[in-house]
Amino acid sequence: MCAADLVPLRSIMIAHMQEQHLDAVAAIEADVFLDPWSRTMFFQDLKSAHGQSFAAFKDETVVGYVNAWIVCDECTINRIACSRKNQGAGIGAQLLRHLIDAAVQRGAKTFFLEVRVSNTAAQQFYEKAGFVKTGLRKAYYPDTREDAVLMSMTAASSPWVSAKRIVSAMHIAELASKKEVIPGTFHFVLKSAALASQASPGQFVMLQVHNSTEPLLRRPISLCGAGNDAVEILFQVRGRGTQIMASWEPGRRVDVLGPLGNGFIVKKNIRKAFIVAGGIGAAPLLHLARHMKNMHAAIEVDFFMGTKIHRDFAMINGILPETCAGHFASEDALAPYTGLVTDAFAGYLREHEFDSKEAAIYSCGPEPMLKTVAGIAQGYGMPCQVSLESHMACGVGACLGCVVETRDGFKRVCADGPVFDSSELDWNHD
Ligand SMILES: Cc1cc2nc3c(=O)[nH]c(=O)nc-3n(C[C@H](O)[C@H](O)[C@H](O)COP(=O)(O)OP(=O)(O)OC[C@H]3O[C@@H](n4cnc5c(N)ncnc54)[C@H](O)[C@@H]3O)c2cc1C
Ligand code: FES
């Protein structure tokens, strides 16, 4: 458990349930339920992509827990309990609030649970959270053949959803236009005034790509532009999710979570911006380049882009503003510069005069490229912001699936980034 993972409630802390907590969880479970789950069942859930489990701690002892499954936009709450001597202290409510928040952040819109007909106290507890009774399951509990009351609620109607910000980040956008800019790389315009009004350069969206349940997780894609009523994305087909996206046709309604992440910061004193893009890493940088001139008319923007093959530069045709000076490097000897974009960039810096106090670097691309760019920035004493990519599950800081090591400990790429100051990152990790 890491400190950032803990949520204080007076002396109670809530954290993701981990394997070392399972003995205590199973002991409480056996004590308070007639039909307890085994330790193995909790363990299997910890390994499942659908599972979401939290434990509550008092003086580092497990005093309660909650377990749920999140499949697409539905969250089913399976277990919630507190140890007998800690019941009535509000721990269950805090666990449930925490779970609901995390589930909403993972995209859950509807919540379900079952409770014994005789357990009216529990039914009242769930009603306070916004659950309503929606059905009866006859002889549901095998131990006593007691009926179960089925209760459900929507995130939007729950008074306990403190993640209103996340709910307001859910949008249905219309795919207004689609273009295959180079083979396997697509430019989409997604119409949503709400999304466009919140977007800033460097931010990304999580797109729901599945048609049924597979692939389950949303896919993170940067915004490469935002206008008055639409945002733009540029993406490369990599696997199943992006393949599905490539099959979408204009007019389709797309479920979008965003805009997410922090975005680039352009300080007022910057007069010279060096943008260094590696391949599809150009996407968030195009948004920055398009926005920069609006922010500070006096900024000179040099846009360096590297690709393996020359023809791939066509992906930014019509997107890179004409006010930016483009510098292109490819490894196939057809670009103005043959070789790595970082060598082209370093060569440019050697040959041109500029005031490093008024200059800054912004970069996105493969990690080895970013590491070299960070080294160049350090050499010139220039500030440098890099946008990182990491495998993401929730995209909103809840699952810790995207953490990177920084000089300040582990940080979440989705919520603390994706843009980081290059000096903050540990470039020598394994
Ligand atoms: C903040 C952020 C912004 C991004 N912006 C863009 C963008 O603007 N345009 C774009 O084309 N792509 C972008 N990506 C990468 C994109 O999310 C992945 O390519 C996509 O999720 C792959 O999904 P898939 O189902 O097609 O592939 P999968 O079947 O999931 O994977 C196919 C291959 O891609 C790799 N991969 C999957 N996800 C990632 C990832 N997050 N980072 C690096 N490699 C990955 C896998 O290891 C595998 O080799 C971004 C990623 C992040 C984290
Ligand atoms: S993807 Fe879940 S915390 Fe970043």
Say which CATH number the domain at 80 has: 3.40.630.30
Orientation of helix 22-32 relative to helix 39-47, angle to 10°: 130
Name the strand (E) or helix (H) holding 241: helix 240-247
Please tell me the predicted confidence (pLDDT) of residue 3.
34
CATH of the domain at 301: 3.40.50.80
Domain hosting residue 62, numbered range = 3-164
pLDDT (tens digit, 9 = 90+) per residue, 1-42?
333 343 434 467 888 898 999 999 999 999 999 889 999 999
The CA 418 to ligand 1 mean position distance, Å, reads: 13
* Residue pointed to by tokens 């948004």: 287
Beta strands in 138-218 (DSSP E): 148-154, 170-182, 185-191, 204-207
Number of domains in the chain: 3
Q: Do 120 and 178 fall within a single domain?
A: no
CB-based contacts of 4-8 (< 8 A; 24+ apart in sequence):
4/409, 4/410, 5/400, 7/98
- Tell me whether residue 236 is exposed, middle or buried, using C-beta atoms within 10 angstroms of its C-beta: 0 to 12, 13 to 18, 19 or more: middle
CATH of the domain at 221: 2.40.30.10
- d(CA 376, CA 1) in angstroms, rounded, equals 36
**Do strands 74-82 and 61-71 pair parallel, antiparallel, or not at all (unpaired)?**
antiparallel
Residue 400 lies in a domain: no
Catalytic residue annotation = 114, 126
| Domain finish residue from 94, 129, 164 | 164
- d(CA 378, CA 238) in angstroms, rounded, equals 33
The CA 105 to ligand 2 mean position distance, Å, reads: 10
Regions of the chain short of the pLDDT cut 70 = 1-11, 156-157, 161-168, 211-213, 295, 430
Dihedral pair phi/psi, residue 198, rounded to 5°? -100, -10
Please tell me the predicted confidence (pLDDT) of residue 199.
86
Nearest ligand 2 atom, CA 402: 4
Q: Do 289 and 184 fall within a single domain?
A: no
Among protein residues, the one with the nearest Cα to ligand 1's atom 14 is 221
Q: Do 346 and 370 fall within a single domain?
A: yes
Provide the whole-model pTM. 0.68
DSSP state of 226: E
The ligand whose atoms approach the alpha carbon of 399 most closely is 2
- Answer whether the bond into residue 220 is a cis peptide, omega within 30°: no
Q: Which two tokens stand for residue 24?
A: 């205590």
Residue 315 lies in a domain: yes
Best mutation site among 188, 221, 234, 238 for ligand 1, i.e. most ligand atoms within 8 A of its Cβ?
A: 238
Q: Do 245 and 194 fall within a single domain?
A: yes
| CA proximity to 247, closest of 309, 317, 184 | 184
Q: Report CA torsion sign: 97, 98, 104, 105.
A: positive
The CA 415 to ligand 2 mean position distance, Å, reads: 7
The CA 413 to ligand 2 mean position distance, Å, reads: 7
Residue 84 lies in a domain: yes
Residue 365 lies in a domain: yes
Best mutation site among 186, 231, 389, 413 for ligand 1, i.e. most ligand atoms within 8 A of its Cβ?
A: 389
Amino acid letter, residue 251: G
Q: Do 21 and 141 fall within a single domain?
A: yes
Q: Do 156 and 204 fall within a single domain?
A: no
Instruction: Return the exposure string of 26-65: e unless at least 16 CB atoms fall within 10 Å of the residue's CB, then b.
Output: bebbeeeeeebbebeebeebbeeeebbbbbbbbeeebbbb
The residue count for the chain: 430
Q: Do 7 and 152 fall within a single domain?
A: yes
Do 164 and 104 contact (CB within 8 A), yes or no? no
- d(CA 346, CA 350) in angstroms, rounded, equals 6
| Domain finish residue from 219, 237, 260 | 260
Residue 118 lies in a domain: yes
Residue 318 lies in a domain: yes
* Residue pointed to by tokens 């306990």: 160
- Ligand 2 pocket by C-beta < 6 Å: which residues? 392-395, 397-402, 412, 414
Dihedral pair phi/psi, residue 187, rounded to 5°? -110, 125
Residue 405 lies in a domain: no
Q: Do 236 and 345 fall within a single domain?
A: no
Instruction: Return the exposure string of 72-84: e unless at least 16 CB atoms fall within 10 Å of the residue's CB, then b.
Output: bbebbbbbbbbbe
* End-to-end CA gap in the chain: 22
Residue 314 lies in a domain: yes
With H, G, I as helix, E, B as strand and everything else as coil, classify residue 24: helix
The CA 40 to ligand 1 mean position distance, Å, reads: 33
Nearest ligand 2 atom, CA 220: 1
Q: Do 153 and 196 fall within a single domain?
A: no
| Domain finish residue from 164, 189, 208 | 164
* Residue pointed to by tokens 């205590």: 24
With H, G, I as helix, E, B as strand and everything else as coil, classify residue 69: strand
Amino acid letter, residue 98: H
Q: Do 293 and 157 fall within a single domain?
A: no
Q: Report CA torsion sign: 347, 348, 353, 354.
A: negative
Q: Do 108 and 10 fall within a single domain?
A: yes
| CA proximity to 180, closest of 247, 122, 127, 135 | 247
Q: Do 30 and 125 fall within a single domain?
A: yes
